């Protein structure tokens, strides 16, 4: 399952670089090897095909239900975002669907397949939307030059700096307290850590907000795993 998800994410990340190569060249992105011409687009498409084949086979090894959710909702949402949904007002929807569906990829692959609880899906969806908002923050000016006008661009940087961390904190609250099976001290500690990271996200510049978001995501994943296996 880990390999299946990794292969799917490779297809999403690599396709993003190829599809956006011309826009990245236009704004002079120095961190994109494809845009700089250091890696050919043909080679990247070939590697995408290999990763896609591996993703398909590995996903099917986890069971038909799990594979369907992974391929259609998780990987499919990532590709839909790359192919155009990044430029619409509801650009956060693919992130919400993909992150929210990810727990189902796991639970549907168990010996006793079942759908995850609603709180777990909600936590994943909120986490995805928050990550989307913060991930777009450093690139707002570049995206404006190339005509990309998604939800983060419509909101603008000032709103994103406080709204995105609040969405992530809501995800943390759902992940920590959603199971309603009694609140241990470590849950409060984890929530406090997320609050500190949210402040860092609000005050940081450049890639710092997204790095803080990754930290919040890591804490939330631990919460989901612990509660999900309880």
In this predicted structure, the answer to whether residue 227 has a pLDDT above a threshold of 70 is no
- CA of 199: how far to CAs of 121, 126, 194, 205, in Å? 25, 18, 9, 12
Q: What is the pLDDT of residue 63?
A: 96
Q: What is the pLDDT of residue 185?
A: 78
Q: What is the mean pLDDT of residues 8-32?
A: 88
Tens digits of per-residue pLDDT, 84-137?
898 888 999 999 999 999 999 999 999 999 999 999 899 999 989 988 888 787
Name which of 65-69, 111-115, 197-201 the model is least confident about.
197-201
What's the pTM value of the predicted model, to 2 decimals?
0.86
Q: What is the pLDDT of residue 2?
A: 93
Decide: residue 185, CB within 10 A, 0-12 exposed, 13-18 middle, 19+ buried. exposed
Instruction: Give helix 92-107 / helix 118-136 axis angle, nearest 10°.
Output: 140
pLDDT band at 230 (very low <50, low <70, confident <90, very high): low
Name which of 40-54, 60-74, 112-126 the model is least confident about.
112-126
Instruction: Name which of 2, 25, 11 is nearest 142 in CA terms.
Output: 25
Q: What is the pLDDT of residue 177?
A: 81
Neighbours of 200 (CB within 10 A): 17
DSSP 137-153: GGGHHHHHHTT---HHH
Q: What is the pLDDT of residue 28?
A: 78
Two structure tokens written together for 4: 């299946």
Of 187 and 206, the one with more pLDDT: 187
In the numeric block, the tokens 């919400």 are attached to 96
Tens digits of per-residue pLDDT, 142-198?
777 777 888 888 888 888 888 888 888 888 888 888 776 556 777 888 888 888 988
Q: What is the pLDDT of residue 51?
A: 98
Could you state, in order of their start, the residue ranges of all structural domains in the chain?
Answer: 1-61, 63-229
Average pLDDT along the chain = 87
Q: What is the pLDDT of residue 169?
A: 87
């Amino acid at each position: 399952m880990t390999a299946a998800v990794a292969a799917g994410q490779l297809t999403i990340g690599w396709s993003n670089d190829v599809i956006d190569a011309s826009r990245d060249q236009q704004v002079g992105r120095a961190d994109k090897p494809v845009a700089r011409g250091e890696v050919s687009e043909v080679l990247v498409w070939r590697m995408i095909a290999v990763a896609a084949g591996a993703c398909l086979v590995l996903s099917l090894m986890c069971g038909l239900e799990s594979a369907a959710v992974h391929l259609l909702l998780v990987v499919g949402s990532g590709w839909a975002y790359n192919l155009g949904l990044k430029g619409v007002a509801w650009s956060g929807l693919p992130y919400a669907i993909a992150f929210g569906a990810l727990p189902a990829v796991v639970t549907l692959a168990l010996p006793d397949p079942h759908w995850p609880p609603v709180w777990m899906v909600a936590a994943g969806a909120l986490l995805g939307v928050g990550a989307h908002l913060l991930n777009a923050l450093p690139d707002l000016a570049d995206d404006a030059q190339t005509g990309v006008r998604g939800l983060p661009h419509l909101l603008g940087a000032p709103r994103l700096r406080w709204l995105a961390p609040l969405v992530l904190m809501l995800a943390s609250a759902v992940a920590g307290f959603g199971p309603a099976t009694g609140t241990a001290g470590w849950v409060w500690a984890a929530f406090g850590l997320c609050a500190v990271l949210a402040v860092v996200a609000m005050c940081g510049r450049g890639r710092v907000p997204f790095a803080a978001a990754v930290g919040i995501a890591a804490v939330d994943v631990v919460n989901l795993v612990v509660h999900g296996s309880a």
